[in-house]
Amino acid sequence: MIGCGFVGSASVFALMQSGLFTEITLIDADKNKAEGEAMDISHGIPFASPVDILTQVAIKLSGLPENRVIGSGTVLDSARLRYKLGEHGDSEVVAWS
């Protein structure tokens, strides 16, 4: 993808979620912007199909059907921890100290 502004980044995110590609390259005049967007997207890959816990709670409490609730909640944060530290289960907690 040439250009990592809002449209380029959103397009790459949608392509990642589609599962049609095994590799996508981001190019931008601002190299740091391209690298940052690439990291955000790559960190989210493990959660491209699972829903985060906050969205699951919103579905349960609202009583709405699943297709009416959209959320990203802590997906990116959780994905970053998993990407950097690995995960041994859904209840895994990182002990920072």
Catalytic residue among 67, 68, 84, 88: 88
Collapsing DSSP states into helix, strand and coil, what is residue 2? strand
Put residue 86 in one of left, alpha, beta given phi > 0 → left and psi -120 to 50 → alpha. Answer: left
Put residue 73 in one of left, alpha, beta given phi > 0 → left and psi -120 to 50 → alpha. Answer: left
Residue 88 appears among annotated catalytic residues: yes
- CB-based contact 38:26 (threshold 8 Å): yes
E-strand stretches of 21-64: none
Residues with a known catalytic role: 88
